[in-house]
Amino acid sequence: MSASTLLPRSVYKLSPLTPPRSTLVSRRYITRSALNQKFPSPGLPRAATSFQSPIHQFTRTIPHFPSTKIQFPTTPTPHNYTTMSTPTLPATMRAIKIPHTGGLEVLELHSDLPLPTPTSGQILIKNAFAGVNYIDTYLRTGLYPPPASGILGQEAEGTVVAVSAEGDTYGFKIGDRVAAFTSGGAYAEYVAVPAQTSFKLPEGIEAGLGAASLLQGLTALTLIREAHPVKKGETILVHAAAGGVGLWLCQLLRAVGAKVIATASTAEKLALAKENGADELVNYKTHDFVAEVARITGGAGVAAVFDGVGAATFEGSFASVARKGSMVSFGNASGPVPPFTIARLGAKNIKVLRPRLGAYVETREEFETYSAELFGFIADGKVGVKVHGRYKLEDVAKAQGELEGRGTVGKLLLVL
């Protein structure tokens, strides 16, 4: 079309023209009012996060309007985050919510809860799996304060469907498959999680292994790297060795060259611990594990005890630690450890720790470093992930009951 055949500018239509492919942006762009200038939203093309619309940029390339820019009104986005396609997200979701702390009966299924909105630095995940962990039972019973939302669950795996336009979201994009560690909310079809504690799963990681590995795997990895930095040749005592964290500890300790003494309650569980790297096996139902540790170590004791059982094993674990060793109590499966006199540490100059995973992966660098190492082990086949069972969301009480009954071997997953 020549300049002489153009319509007057007041009625000029852009619709007959087709902009160059390189400038055409299919998704809607974020307006000035919704855009966080410091942290552009990940997942959108650069043009889509500029202060001008893609169409405005196209008009600058038309030679017939060298000195005039056509202005188009912009409509503020209703939410300060980007989504795959707003109509595809439902208004409500299914979730497990507790009205108050208590027994298994407080785990209530709701089908009409509103979707969470990702706030600054968060991403919204459409959950495929949620991990069931012992800490969930502590939160349900009130041993630890439950999340304000009443929705339990600290481990999620799914697909990113929305990204906050505010805060640092570390490059996450719509459609990324991720595993995430959160302070609550994972027992639901959708969960808003901090991008800082989310990890994009590598290709080849089987569905479900993200939620099956993140919390327990990172717990075990940080225990042997930070709580007691394990050295090759050290002898380590692992209680509940066939449990979720126990199996991870057996495999990782074998990988670093330590000798593992494993305790469990049945021959079946001990056999599983043996398959996963344990060297010495002790059935604590039929044998005194303190006497067995003394026999195996020639009375010297172990360099470290990793004890996730709590009250029932603490005194025996304390007695089994070698001089200058570490007593690492990281769980309360049998109840919390009662107070003790700190002067008792001086007899053998031992260290007692009650570590919490969140304090080991508090920064993005720490979380990303340990997560990359963990899923690298899985992708390379250096460790295996044992899944005990997969449960429907409405069967969460059954899953937690089996976990508390200590009849499980490996990880428990909710399938959403």
Each residue's pLDDT tens digit, 79-107: 566 655 444 899 999 999 999 999 999 99
Tell whether the model's pLDDT for residue 121 goes beyond 70: yes
Q: What is the DSSP letter of 151?
A: B
**Mean of the per-residue pLDDT values for the chain?**
84
- Mean pLDDT, to the nearest integer, of 376-389? 90
Tell whether the model's pLDDT for residue 218 goes beyond 80: yes
The 10s digit of each residue's pLDDT in 6-20 is 333 333 333 444 444
Q: What angle (nearest 5°) sits at the alpha carbon of residue 270, between those of residues 267 and 276?
A: 145
Per-residue tokens: 23 = 């400038």
Report the C-alpha gap between 150 and 148 in whole angstroms.
5
- Mean pLDDT, to the nearest integer, of 48-54? 38
- Which of 222, 174, 266 has its CA nearest to residue 360? 222
The confidence score (pLDDT) of residue 84 equals 52
Tell whether the model's pLDDT for residue 48 goes beyond 80: no
pLDDT bracket for residue 266 (50, 70, 90):
very high
Tell whether the model's pLDDT for residue 29 goes beyond 70: no
- Which of 200, 260, 182, 205 has its CA nearest to residue 383? 205
- Mean pLDDT, to the nearest integer, of 219-247? 96
Q: What is the DSSP letter of 32?
A: T
The confidence score (pLDDT) of residue 372 equals 96
Per-residue tokens: 359 = 């304090």
Report the C-alpha gap between 241 and 228 in whole angstroms.
17
> Do the first three CATH levels of 86-215+365-415 and 231-354 match, i.e. the same topology?
no
- Mean pLDDT, to the nearest integer, of 258-280? 96
Report the C-alpha gap between 399 and 411 in whole angstroms.
10
Per-residue tokens: 280 = 């010495």
The confidence score (pLDDT) of residue 285 equals 94
Using CB atoms within 10 A of its CB, is residue 196 exposed (0-12), middle (13-18) or buried (19+)? buried
The confidence score (pLDDT) of residue 258 equals 98
% of the chain at pLDDT higher than 90: 72
**What does the domain layout of the chain look like in residue ranges?**
1-78, 86-215+365-415, 231-354
The confidence score (pLDDT) of residue 319 equals 97
Report the C-alpha gap between 388 and 398 in whole angstroms.
13
The 10s digit of each residue's pLDDT in 306-332 is 999 999 999 999 999 999 999 999 998
Could you please state the CATH topology (level 3) that the domain comprising 231-354 is classified under: Rossmann fold (3.40.50)
The alpha helices in 100-179, defined as continuous H runs, are: 134-141
Per-residue tokens: 411 = 């990880």
- Mean pLDDT, to the nearest integer, of 220-241? 97
CATH code of 86-215+365-415, in short, is: 3.90.180.10
- Residues 119 and 164 sit within 8 Å (Cβ to Cβ): yes
Tell whether the model's pLDDT for residue 342 goes beyond 70: yes
Per-residue tokens: 44 = 């959108």
Helix (H, G, I), strand (E, B) or coil at 407: coil
pLDDT bracket for residue 382 (50, 70, 90):
confident
- Mean pLDDT, to the nearest integer, of 338-360? 95
% of the chain at pLDDT higher than 70: 79
